[in-house]
Amino acid sequence: MQIESAGFLKTCGETWIGRRATEFPVVNVHAVDVAAPPERVFAALEDREAVAPRWHWRALLAVRAAVGRVFGWDEGIQWDRRAGPFVPGNSYVFFRIEHVEHGRELGLSVENKLTRALVSFVIVPTANGCRVFNVTCAVFKGRLGRAYWRVIRPFHDGLTKNWLAAVRRRAEVG
């Protein structure tokens, strides 16, 4: 489900991403309820395949990476899909791991010629498991960056929903 950023910030403003959100004009929040404890959700996030759980998302990410190379948008971005523990400074697919609070929050960043963004997974315990938020904060650089966001927004929302659904499935199966 997509939710208003103000509601997220009201309840989770003390998180790493909550404190940083005011730096960004775009704050996009998705959430999913998971019938599993936070530790299993965090373990499910470690599976990099959850980022693009279906073949069509992997194909779209491959096309996006190729376009980024052709136009020189992504200089310095490391693509690493290998599984491994969350260590600040390491790569998580095409993100850089910035913040790890095991079982509670995973903070990521990415910057290229079009955008500077932070992405965070915030895990909040509930009576039946937990609610997992995916928060994307971004600033798009110049006219091209703003046009890029208008084009990719539907894909971003779809990919994020699928990413959260994959994390939910992995965490609930355990």
Predicted TM-score (pTM) of the model is 0.88
Of all residues in the chain, the percent with pLDDT exceeding 70 is 86
| CA dist., res. 146 & res. 114, Å (int) | 8
Structural domains of the chain, ranges and CATH numbers in brackets:
2-173 (3.30.530.20)
Question: Is residue 21 predicted with pLDDT exceeding 70?
Answer: yes
Q: Place 89 in a pLDDT band, splitting at 50, 70 and 90.
A: confident
Q: Kindly provide the residue ranges of all beta strands, DSSP E only, lying in 41-128, ordered along the sequence.
A: 91-92, 95-101, 105-111, 115-126
